[in-house]
Amino acid sequence: MDKVSVVFAGYFLGFAIIGLLVMPLMTFLHELGHALPILASGNKAHIVMGTGDSPLTLTFNNLKISLSPTISTSFCYWEESLTQRTALLALIAGPLTSLLISMTCIFVYFRFSTSAELSGLLLCIAGITFFQFLFTAIPMHYPSFMGAYAGAPSDGYQILQRLK
């Protein structure tokens, strides 16, 4: 195998790991961020990861997690009976979780000496989660190219609506 093939295989493997493992995990943590204030208030939260007919469903006390094979979308659902304060905290906590993950990765990258592979992974996670923070915190309705999210209000938009 020549050097070009090895480099290409390495990049392909890296993108596969990021697409299949890192991005869904960071998205799950974002959704878990939404769920934590809800759970802390004694209410029920349901995180749905992906689309499909037969999701794997896990339940931990008041937290229900549904995982489908195609993890292209994710949402955290909660009961409408939440107090205004709890709903606002839940909406803020998702983007804030993404921002904290991004800042933590940047801190570890600059503070500790890490291998090139780990440094690359840290920067990749920092970039993904910072973009996730921005895209969810900016008040808007998601554009049509966002697939299942098209037309849905962002966390930032929902926060502004609740503050009115």
Residue 142 vs residue 114, higher pLDDT: 142
pLDDT at 8: 56
- Distance set, CA 27 to CA 75, 115, 146, 164 (Å): 9, 25, 15, 28
Conformational region of residue 46, where left means phi above 0, alpha means psi within -120 to 50, and beta covers everything else: beta
- pTM for the structure as a whole: 0.87
Q: Where are the domains of the chain?
A: 3-163
Q: How far is CA 53 from each of CA 67, 123, 149, rounded to the nearest angstrom? A: 10, 35, 18
The tokens 């943590």 sit on which residue?
Answer: 29
* Mean residue pLDDT across the chain: 88
Confirm if 42 and 63 have CB atoms less than 8 A apart: no
pLDDT in tens, 25-51: 999 999 999 999 999 999 999 999 988
